[in-house]
A and B are shown apart, each in its own frame.
Chain A
């Protein structure tokens, strides 16, 4: 069964304190791993897609990496506006829909 597990469930950082979020997955044939950001009461906002182990993508203070079993979302020198829930998802076996983890809620204080 395809599964996505994210850790930690919640993470509190001081502004400028870099850290990483983890996404472990089990899927029969990876068809894409996706990172989204979700603010309270809003729909998820697309961040990155990764397709193969070793791939990396960056956007401002965020960098996503992928191995055969997990993905990391690295946050460098975070700011309070980076506070949100970060969701990880993988495409299902048919490649038609996404299976989401429960997310990591990040809080960055100044």
Chain B
């Protein structure tokens, strides 16, 4: 299967700081990447759809100014959590689709964010 890599795999930061998470497609080009958030024992919740070269599409209830998404190339999307607070602590996972409209998403390893 296709390989999607995330970095960092875990990060601890102080309240009020910003954190950037990178998502890379290693062996394919991804015009679209997806950012999910997962709380313990909860479902993966789609936060936003990242489109290469254009603005991301955010799901209802997701703050655009808090979760900045940039998709500058066909292999890299970044999620920046700005002015992080303890309630932003979660598991963030990115995913990408190899071929448009086939449906199969391949996921990164996830990034565990803890805000103190």
A44-B93 contact, Cβ under 8 Å, with A32-B103, A91-B103, A95-B101: yes
Q: Provide the residues of chain B in CB contact with A95, threshold 8 Å.
A: 101, 103
Per the 8 Å Cβ criterion, residues 65-98 of A in contact with B are 87, 89, 91, 95-98
Q: Provide the residues of chain B in CB contact with A4, threshold 8 Å.
A: 43
Q: Provide the residues of chain B in CB contact with A32, threshold 8 Å.
A: 103
Q: Report the stretch among A14-22, A54-62, A99-107 that lies at the interface.
A: A99-107
Name the prevailing secondary structure of the B interface residues: strand
Q: Provide the residues of chain A in CB contact with B74, threshold 8 Å.
A: none
A97-B49 contact, Cβ under 8 Å, with A41-B112, A44-B44, A102-B42: yes
- A side interface size, CB within 8 A: 24
What 1/0 flags go to A38-50 for Cβ under 8 Å of B?
Answer: 0001111110010
Query: Is A102 in contact with B43, judged by CB distance below 8 angstroms?
Result: yes
A90 to chain B, nearest CB (A): 9
What 1/0 flags go to B20-56 for Cβ under 8 Å of A?
Answer: 0000000000001010000001111110010000000
Query: Is B110 in contact with A41, judged by CB distance below 8 angstroms?
Result: yes
What 1/0 flags go to B73-116 for Cβ under 8 Å of A?
Answer: 00000000000000000010101000001111111111010000
Query: Is A43 in contact with B46, judged by CB distance below 8 angstroms?
Result: no
Bound-state Cα–Cα, A91 to B91, Å: 22
Bound-state Cα–Cα, A102 to B42, Å: 5
B42 to chain A, nearest CB (A): 6
- Residues of A that sit less than 8 Å from B by CB: 4, 31-32, 34, 36, 41-46, 49, 87, 89, 91, 95-103
- Residues of B that sit less than 8 Å from A by CB: 1, 4, 6, 32, 34, 41-46, 49, 91, 93, 95, 101-110, 112
Given A91-B103, A96-B49, 10 more pairs with CB closer than 8 A: A34-B105, A36-B107, A41-B91, A43-B107, A43-B108, A95-B103, A97-B49, A98-B34, A102-B41, A103-B43
